[in-house]
Structure 1
Amino acid sequence: MTSTGTFVYDGDCAFCTTCANFIERRIPTRARVVPWQFADLATLGLTEAECEEAVQWVGADGRRAAGPDAIGRLLGDSGPLWRVAGAVLRLPPVRLLAWPAYRWVARNRHRMPGGTAACALPQEARERLYGTTGRPGTT
């Protein structure tokens, strides 16, 4: 385990990499920002499947979070202004809205700025996450 948190993203996705580059350039954090393909997932207590489904946060204390919760934890470990944004993102009503928004972005990340066709989730992952209709919780 590291003395700081670790933020894990999909390094095969251009959109995710663009976002990670933004974090490294603009968000003052002590956290390691690393693609899951180059992370020691066993040491972090993560699986490939978890990392394919959402960004991950593993705190210095070993506590984990995924998706917008992971983003909130990363921001909470950053500079003062970003900490406020992280705290807001972790508020229950905001968190409730953040998950559907995160899933929509994940489903459409190949269409986002910086995204490419390679960013599209594999068909198996899309069906596992969103069912055959493409909407969460449906089959």
Structure 2
Amino acid sequence: MRIRPVLVFDGDCGFCTDSVRLIERVVRPRCETVPWQRADLAALGVTPERARHEALWVTPTGRVYGGAQAVAKLLLSAGGAWTLAGAFLTLPVVRGAAHAAYRLVADNRQRLPGGPAGCALPADRTRRT
């Protein structure tokens, strides 16, 4: 059994990797961080499809939170003022907006700084102008 939670993220995405490194330095969550490409997903109870779709927070007991709720759990783990931000994201009236904001960023990460071609959506899912 793991002792610490694990944050699983997309290691092929520059934006995701840069974000996690910044979070490690500034927020200092109490967790391990691992790119899904290097993680033992089966041991974490996570499918590759889900890991590609969103960041994941896996508790030591095996409970998995994804997307905005993974971010909330990460903030809660950091303590201090970060706990308030994490708790805010878990409020029922905020959850929907947090999820929408997470999806907006995740679905457009190829357009964000550090989001190289590896983050780009397949040609059949990109908008043509």
Whether the TM-score (by the shorter chain) exceeds 0.5 is yes
Separation (CA, whole Å) in 1 of partners of 2:123 and 2:68: 23
Structure 2: distance between partners of 1:62 and 1:19: 24
Q: How does 1:72-83 map to 2 (within 5 A)?
A: 72-83=72-83
Amino acid across the alignment from 2:51: C
Q: Indicate the SS of the match to 2:78.
A: coil
What residue in structure 2 maps to residue 13 of structure 1?
13
Distance across 2 between alignment mates of 1:117 and 1:18: 15
1:96/1:38 CA distance change after superposition, 3 Å: same
Listed as ranges, the gaps of 5+ residues in structure 2 are none
3-state SS of the aligned residue for 1:37? coil
Determine the structure 2 residue equivalent to 1:48.
Answer: 48
Query: Could you say what the CA RMSD is over the residues aligned between the two structures, in angstroms?
Result: 1.7
The normalised TM-score by structure 2 is 0.90
Q: Secondary structure at the match of 2:22?
A: helix
Deviations 1:72-125 (A, max 9, x none): 01111112111111100111111110111111111110111222222123457x
Task: Give the aligned partner of residue 110 of structure 1.
Answer: 110
What secondary structure does 2:34 align onto?
strand
Conserved 8 A contact 1:110-1:116 = yes
Runs of 5+ unmatched residues, structure 1? 127-131, 134-139
Structure 1 pair 110–61 and aligned structure 2 pair: CA distance change class (3 A):
same
> Paired residue for 1:3?
3
Contact 1:5–1:60, Cα closer than 8 Å, also in 2: yes
1:16-62 residue CA offsets vs partner (Å, 9 max, x unmatched): 00111111111122200110011110110001000011000101122
Structure with higher RCO (Cα < 8 A, 6+ apart): 2
TM-score (norm 1): 0.84
% same residue: 48
Divergent runs of 4+, >2 A: 121-124
Q: Distance in 1 between matches of 2:97 and 2:123?
A: 25
Letter in 1 for 2:84: V
Alignment of 1:61-80 (within 5 A): 61-80=61-80
